[in-house]
Amino acid sequence: MRILRTCGLACLLLLVDPGSSLSAEAYDPILSGKVTGVVDANTLQFAERRVQLAGILPPTRGRPEHGQAQDLLHSLTQGEYVWCLLIQEEGPEPLRGFCYVRGGLDLADVLVRRGLGRDCPRFSGGRYYLMETKNARRSMNMPDGCF
């Protein structure tokens, strides 16, 4: 399954030519570049845009896991080229997207596997559910907005 997701993203990236002559008004579903900061436990700051990792529920502010998630995102993205497949077209910031680094490493997947987030099926389609830790399921309540 992971191979299919990575291949699907790679195939999509091959179809999108960054040097193409699309007009500036065209919606581009991929936002990429260097991350200039980590704003929250699931939000990346690019030069002028913010992208919230789609499909996961991060730890609540004030909990130790919130800071751990933010630190982990910072360490994974610092100095790295990151690309996000946006699931939300232009609109209010932050945008939502599935974000990847280093050969297709899914940032939300890493957070969930480490117990620093839970699957939010409304946006993920359940893609992270099997990666959730028992501890995260006990300590993080799922809001109605995730269903």
pLDDT at res. 15: 39
Q: Is the peptide bond before 29 cis (omega within 30 degrees of 0)?
A: no
- Residue 111 and residue 69: Cα distance in Å, rounded? 7
Give 42-82 pLDDT, tens digit per residue.
999 998 889 999 999 999 999 889 999 999 999 999 989 99
pLDDT at res. 123: 87
**What is the reported pTM?**
0.78
Going by C-alpha positions, the residue among 5, 74, 89 that lies closest to residue 34 is 74
Report the DSSP pairing between strands 118-119 and 56-57. antiparallel
pLDDT over 90 at 89, yes or no: no
Percent of the chain with pLDDT over 70: 80
Q: Which residues contact 24 (CB under 8 A, 6 or more apart)?
A: none
Q: Report, in angstroms and rounded to the nearest whole number, the Rg of the chain calculated over CA atoms.
A: 15
pLDDT over 50 at 20, yes or no: no
Kindly state the tokens that stand for 126.
């359940």
Q: Which residue is listed with tokens 């100095």?
A: 79
